[in-house]
Every structure is written in structure tokens, then in C-alpha cells.
Structure 1
Amino acid sequence: MTSPGENRRGGGRRLTIAALGALAVLGALLVGYTLTSQVGEPPQPELRTAAQASDGGGDAQASDDGGTVPGPSAEGAATPTAADEPAEPTEPAEPAEPAEPAEPAEPEEPLAPALTRSEPTTLRIDSLSLEAEVFPLGLGPDGALLAPSGERAHDPAWFDGSPTPGEVGPSVIEGHVTWGGDPSIFFELGALRSGDRVEVDREDGTTATFEVYDTARFAKDAFPTVAVYGRTDGPELRLITCGGELDDQGHHLDNTVVFLRLIEN
């Protein structure tokens, strides 16, 4: 037969053990929540205005977590400026003194020859330890470029209205920086710098190798449409994701854009 004192001591021990067990479970839950909810900040390249883009400027945007990207003909795309209008004739100027002949410029290293059309299958960026299948995406009913979603939310998407990688012109591939609060395929995209290489495998068995020549960040309401979608002399590639601070709805306010040229095929 146990005494009342022993009963009280036994009950106290059981309460202590139960409390410690509950605290251990709560601690494990908190640690798990912290590890899964803290994403951290993606690399943020230099913020520029549209006028400071590699070529031209305009208005378009790319968004994460289900957002859309206006196509190249969306409202706000570049329109002719006064510089495109014919100038009024002017009086001929007085002939200038002949200048000394300039030294011939060193020829630029020739770019790789353009490839024929073939859709991309795989995107590979060794410096980011990234390799993923690429799938095509087009425009929605509103003329906006659709964004990856569903089972392919974490895959990069090639805009099928742009040239295929390796053709003359800018091929456009987009991807999310985050999705559902987790890092997505282009989370580290802003870390790319001039000289980094990106490879794109194509359906015809060829691989187009591009070299980064610029990486920048733009506010979504000042996206450089012409620099991204405009004509280029040779084959180029644009990689686009989101960046910058978040708005009240948890969407990024900026876009990160990487500009690349074809160097090997």
C-alpha cells in the first residue's frame, strides 16, 4: 500500500515527464517549420531602369507563383519615337577640314553561325548546378505569356513565339524564382555574371552554347521589352525570373533578366 505522499510524488513525476514530452514535440515542430519556411533571398543583380537595359526599353513583366508575362506585342511595347520620324531638311553645312584617318578597329570575334529551327529540350547551367527539361508555353487569351504551373511549375518554359535557341533573334526562357514559398528552378539565376555559359539541348540532337554578357534587374513596370524581344543581329538567349522585394500579396516587384549570345553549336 502506498502512502499519500508517494502518490503525490508519482503523479508529479508523470506530469513532469508528460510536460517534457510535449515540449520536445513542440520544439521539433518549430525546428521543422523554421527549416521549411525560411527560403532566404535570391541573388539580386543591379537594379536598372528600362533605358539602362542592354537594348531599348518598354513595359512587360514576369511573375512568380502563377503570374503571367505580357507578350512582345502587349500594351506598352516599344513604339516609334521622334528619332524614327524623318527630319526636316536643313541647310548644308560648310565642308569640314579632312580628318586624319583613324586606326582600323580590331575585328570582333565572330559569333557562332545560326542554327535552323529546332525546339529546346534541356537547359543546363553548370555554374548553378542546374539541369532541367524545357517545355514550350505560349500566350493566354489576354495576350500574356503563360507561366509554368501545376506539375511543371518548377520547370523552365520556352516562349514558343520566340526563336528556338540557336536561331537568329532572342530566344526567351522563363522560370519561377519561388513557387509556393519554396525556391524554384531560377532561384539562383541572379548570380550569373558575364562569361558564364548556358547550354540548351535541342530536338535535332544539337547543343547551343550561350555566354552571358549582362545580368540586370528591372522594376516590373519598367521592363525592357525591346531588349528582351527585339531583333538581334545573331542568335541570343534571354533567361527571365522574378526578383526584388515582395508586395502585399507576396509577389516580387522586379524581374531579373540574363542576356546571352550564342558562341558554340
Structure 2
Amino acid sequence: MTPQGTPRRNGGRRTAAAVLAALAVVGAALLVFALTHQVGAPPEPPLRTAGAPSDGAGAQSSDDGGEPTEPVGADPTEPADAEPSAVPRTDAAEPSEQPSSAAPEASVAEALPASTPTAVRIDAIGVEEQVFPIGLGENGELLAPRGDQADLAAWFDGSPTPGESGPSVIEGHVTWGGDPSVFFELGALEAGDRIEVDREDGTVATFEVYDAVRYPKDEFPTVAVYGRTDGPELRLITCAGDLDEDGHHLDNTVVFARLVEG
């Protein structure tokens, strides 16, 4: 005869084993989530909005009163799980404020001939990555890096090549797939930091940061970022700020730099 207490003890063991198994599954899921989603907040420079005081401008409008270089917009064709484009929306406002640290009237280094960028190095934030050219979509928006190139930096091929006269524009994601991407630390750059861009002709264009700012996307200063400059300059752009209800960042981080060696 089976002792009366035996089935009860066996049932308790089965229950305990099931609970432990469930806890193991939950623990594993939490670990995976922590490793893939909890990357912490990227550093962000001060937020500047329309009407904020400023004391200088890196970008200049044309002397003949013409329009500045064509502003570009965000990519509406990104997949739902993609990081939003690093550039401002096409309907962004054009406030009058400019970078707070005035760029010099003329760059320290003379302009270089055109040559496609191939890589970018930023020692201050540990960036060393390939650069590839990227253009506009069907609706005139600047496309965002994706696929195998998602974590690379992208040079807008409608802007001057780095080292040419004018503002060269390089964009990159702040995160991709829940992980830090190429420009995750971009907001930590400060005046005086150096940015080196390798060029296809074998030369290196070295830029010095003179401002780093965070702008609301709906108040993006297109003239300051994309407008004509007195000499060779560089703009690095990524997303920043809180997310809207669709998971898109509300702000952009923009780093302004001037050519100092090439």
C-alpha cells in the first residue's frame, strides 16, 4: 500500500519544479531584454530653441541674396523598427538662431579639391568608422543608413565633400536595433575636439569642433546647418531627445566644425 503522504510530496515537488522552470524562463527573458534594450541615454548637448540668444554664425546666406543650400528632410520610408532619420523633417521651421560659438570669418586651412569621404575618426568619443555616400529619396528626403550599412556614417552626396568650401554633412544613427550606433556619443563633443575624415584621394581633412547643439526637429535651423559658409566646414548630425508616440526622436544633435588641416 502506498503511504498516504507520498502523492502529496510528489505533487509538491512537481509544483516547485514548474515554478523554478518558469522563473528561469522569465529570468532569461529579462536578461536578454537588459542586454538588447537598456543601453542608457546618450550624452546630449544643451537644447537651443527658436529665439534663443546667440553670438555668431557658422553658416552664412549668399551675398547676392540667393537661397542657401537646399535643406533636406527625414526619411518616411524607414521600417517600423528602425531608428528615425538623423536629419530634420522637411516641414521644419527655419529659426534665425545660429551656433553660439562663432566660426571664424575664414577657415584656418584652405579648401581642398573634391574627393569622396571614406572614413571618419573622432578620438574624443572613440569613433572610427567607414563613411559611404547617401542621397535623397523620391520625396526629396535625405535617406538614412540601413541594412548592412546601418551602423556606418553616411555623407550626404548633395553637400560638398569634406574639405571643400561649404558645409559638408555627415549623418549617423544614435542607436540601431536597441544598441548604440556610430554617433551614440556625438552629443559629448566639445569645442576644440578634432574630427578626421579620410578621403578617396588619400588626404585627410581635419576639422575642429566649435559648437555642439541640440535642436527640436520642428525648429531646426536649416540655414545654420546647410547654408553657405565662408570656407570648408563639417556638420555631424544624429537624433536626440525624447521619443514621440510613434517612436521617433523629437530632437537632433548637430556638431559644427571647421577645417583646420588638410
Q: Please state which band the TM-score falls in when normalised by the shorter chain.
A: 0.7 to 0.9
- One-letter amino acid of the counterpart of residue 236, structure 1: E
* Aligned equivalent of 2:204, options 198, 203, 207: 207
- One-letter amino acid of the counterpart of residue 83, structure 2: D
Q: Is 1:60–1:220's contact at 8 Å kept on the other side of the alignment?
A: no
Aligned-residue identity in percent? 64
1:128-143 paired onto structure 2 within 5 Å: 128-143=125-140
Aligned to 2:157: 160
Counterparts of 1:259 and 1:68, CA distance in 2? 15
Aligned to 1:236: 233
Larger Rg over CA atoms: 1
| Structure 2 residue 206 is matched with structure 1 residue 188 | no
Counterparts of 2:32 and 2:86, CA distance in 1? 32
Aligned to 1:65: 83
Q: Is 1:120–1:200's contact at 8 Å kept on the other side of the alignment?
A: yes
- One-letter amino acid of the counterpart of residue 142, structure 2: L
Q: Structure 1, residues 157-210: CA drift from partner, whole Å, max 9, x if none?
A: 101111111111110001111223332211111110101111100001111111
- One-letter amino acid of the counterpart of residue 165, structure 2: V
How far residue 15 of structure 1 moved from its aligned partner, in angstroms, is 2.8
- One-letter amino acid of the counterpart of residue 208, structure 2: E
Distance 1:169 1:70, change over 3 A: same
Q: Is 2:165–2:231's contact at 8 Å kept on the other side of the alignment?
A: yes
Counterparts of 1:75 and 1:34, CA distance in 2? 36
Distance 1:195 1:142, change over 3 A: same
How far residue 31 of structure 1 moved from its aligned partner, in angstroms, is 2.5
Counterparts of 2:86 and 2:34, CA distance in 1? 30
Structure 2: stretches of 5+ with no match in the other structure: 62-67, 76-81, 96-103
TM-score by length of 1: 0.78
Counterparts of 1:136 and 1:60, CA distance in 2? 15
Counterparts of 2:111 and 2:164, CA distance in 1? 5
Structure 1: stretches of 5+ with no match in the other structure: 80-106
How far residue 35 of structure 1 moved from its aligned partner, in angstroms, is 2.9
How far residue 60 of structure 1 moved from its aligned partner, in angstroms, is 6.0
Counterparts of 1:231 and 1:77, CA distance in 2? 18
